[in-house]
Amino acid sequence: MHDGIFDSLIRNAFDFLGRSIDDLQAHPKYSVINFYSAVELLLKARLLKEHWSLIVAKPDEADKAKFLRGDFKSVALDEANKRLAKIVGDGLTDDELKCFNGLRKERNQMVHFAHAALGDGDEARKEMERIVSDHAKGWLHLRRLLTGRWVKHFEEYAGSIGDMDYRMREQTKALEPKFLLLTDVIADAERAGCHFMECPSCRFNSFEVGKPVWVGVGKCLTCGFSSPVITLECVDEDCGRPILLTESRESCPVCNHDYDPEEVDSVLDEHKKIRETHYQDPGDFNRVDCGMCDGYETVVCLDTDEWFCTDCFDIEEHVGQCEWCSDYSTHMPQDTFLSGCGRCEGRLGHEKDD
């Protein structure tokens, strides 16, 4: 159904991404505008896979003939994400939404105000570095969606995605002068015990993390990218290289070994990163549900007393207990006795059943 429209949305998205790269130096304004257009098109393509009317701003007034002619107002980012989450069951993570919203705001600023990225001055250089960093991060999130959680809808486009990845990496090399200025800072920090690995977004060796095995939020000094990660030595016996994962379903960048939440869990367990519990301890639970990704018992309590989801990598300080079904979870909502949690419908749901 609508394979032709799906295909043209994706071709257009890649066309805009290509234009964004071509225009960066001479027309940064169009680079920013085109990049965000690509983001929206790819989200719409995912909605289209569910139902064509989800792309239309008001689905209850959707008119198929008008849709096929392209005569409709399309859904905006926040609403698109709500539909992805609630209707399709395949929504964006908080980090993805935040990143795409940032690109949207930047696009709007470019449309309405003059920009500072043109010229030779210091301000122009900083602005250009910011745009390159933002596009690297935006592409990281897009690529992870298209080749990860949404792969079954986009696998036909693996070739185009690979080509675009190469071009984006080439573009990100523009940050090298900034990275080189940081080499002394990084060397000093290393002498003081800090540890740096390759940044998942800009690829420079300036992503501050803990030595493997470590769970926490890494931050890049070059491009500003930050993300919860696990650092580990690859479990593949022939590889064993120090790597980092920003998602549980990523593959090793060296040997392509595919990871999953169970494997992340067992790496943490093996390296004694999970809090020891005792059967007489009233809080004797070491696996609880994740309120962020809805994972069942995917959250472990780390030796640092933080709660870490081995599926979506959400890190939380607290877990809550449902007052109706007694289930434990991160992000427990309010008024669980009445309205329930992710696993139950609370007293109101119970009464409805009677």
Interface residues with Zn ion (CB under 5 A) are 199, 201-202, 220, 222-223, 225, 234, 236, 239, 252, 254-255, 257, 290, 292-293, 295, 309, 311-312, 314, 322, 324-325, 327, 340-341, 343-344
- DSSP secondary structure code for residue 235 in this structure: S
Shorter beta-carbon distance to Zn ion: residue 50 or 323: 323
Smallest distance from Zn ion to CB 252, Å: 3
Smallest distance from Zn ion to CB 224, Å: 7
User: What sign has the CA pseudo-torsion 109, 114, 118, 119?
Assistant: negative
Smallest distance from Zn ion to CB 59, Å: 29
Q: How far apart are CA 200 and CA 198, in angstroms?
A: 6
Smallest distance from Zn ion to CB 126, Å: 16
Shorter beta-carbon distance to Zn ion: residue 156 or 335: 335
Shorter beta-carbon distance to Zn ion: residue 86 or 278: 86
Shorter beta-carbon distance to Zn ion: residue 53 or 147: 147
Smallest distance from Zn ion to CB 32, Å: 19
Contacts within 8 Å (CB) and 24+ apart, 83-86: 83/47, 83/54, 84/43, 84/46, 84/47
User: What sign has the CA pseudo-torsion 57, 59, 60, 63?
Assistant: positive
Q: How far apart are CA 154 and CA 26, in angstroms?
A: 32
CB 287 within 8 A of CB 299: yes
Shorter beta-carbon distance to Zn ion: residue 29 or 249: 249
Q: How far is CA 48 from CA 6, 238, 306, in A?
A: 7, 42, 38
Six-digit token pair at 299?
Answer: 């959250």
Smallest distance from Zn ion to CB 3, Å: 33
Shorter beta-carbon distance to Zn ion: residue 5 or 254: 254
What string of DSSP letters covers 156-212?
Answer: GGHHHHHHHHHHHHHHHGGGHHHHHHTHHHHHHHHHTT-EEE--TTT-SS-EEEPSS
Shorter beta-carbon distance to Zn ion: residue 9 or 209: 209
Helix (H, G, I), strand (E, B) or coil at 151: helix
Smallest distance from Zn ion to CB 274, Å: 16
